[in-house]
Amino acid sequence: MNPDKEYVVVVNGKPQGPYSLTELKDLDIKANTFIRKPGMDDYKEAHAIPELRELLGFSYQRTAPQYFAAFDQRLLASVIDHFIIFGFYTVIILTSYIFIEGKDQRIMAFLIPFPIIFLVKLIYGSIAEATQSQATIGKKLLNIKVTRMDGSRVSFGISLVRNLSKILSVIPVFFGYLYSFLNKKNQCWHDIAANTLVIKDRLI
C-alpha cells in the first residue's frame, strides 16, 4: 500500500480510502467530514486536523464535548493516581527507617505524615489537569481529561477550585460523586462547582 495514502474518509456513513493528502483536494471534503489517519485514536472532523485546515482553508470550529467519562473510569483513574503517590510515600518512609529505631517509632513515622498523600494528590491533580494533557497519569491511562464546558483547557485556578471542591462531593457520604449518575454530563458536585467536565474520546 502506498504510504502516502493514509487518510480514510467517511462518506455516507462508510469509510472510504485510504487517500493521499493531494487526493483529498479532489474530494468533496466539508469541515465536518470525519477523517482518520494512522496514529489517531478515533475519527476527527476535517477542521480539527491541522494539515487539512491548511490544505482546504477550513477554520477550527470548537464544539462542545459530547462524550463524558463514566463514574467507573473516573474512580479507576483516581485509584491509579493514589496508588502511585502511595508508592512514592512508602518508599520515602521505608528509607527513613534507616534512621529510625523501634517498632512504635516506625509505626508513628508511617502514620503521622499519612495525610500528606491527600495534599500531594490535591496539588498534583490541580497542576496536571491544567497542563496541555489536561490529565493526571491515571486519567491519561484511561484516555479521559478535564475540560471547561466548551472542551477547552482549564486554567490552574479553575483546576485548583475543582480539586478543592471535592470536599463538597465527599461530605454527604460521597453523594456528590454518585450524583454523576443523575447528571447527563456525568458531572460530580465538584465539576459543577468549577464548571468543568471530564470527557473521553468518542468510540467507533
Domain residue limits, the chain: 7-56, 71-200
Question: pLDDT tens digits for the chain (204 residues)?
Answer: 555 678 888 887 888 878 887 787 778 788 778 888 887 777 888 787 888 787 777 766 666 677 899 999 999 999 999 999 999 999 999 998 888 888 888 888 888 888 898 999 999 999 999 999 999 999 999 999 999 988 889 999 999 999 999 999 999 999 999 999 999 999 999 999 999 999 987 654
Residue owning grid cell 454518585: 178
Distance CA 178, CA 186 (A): 9
Bridge partners, residue 144, by sequence: 200
Give the type of residue at 20: S
pTM, rounded to two decimals: 0.68
CA torsion 90→91→93→94, rounded to 10°? Answer: 110
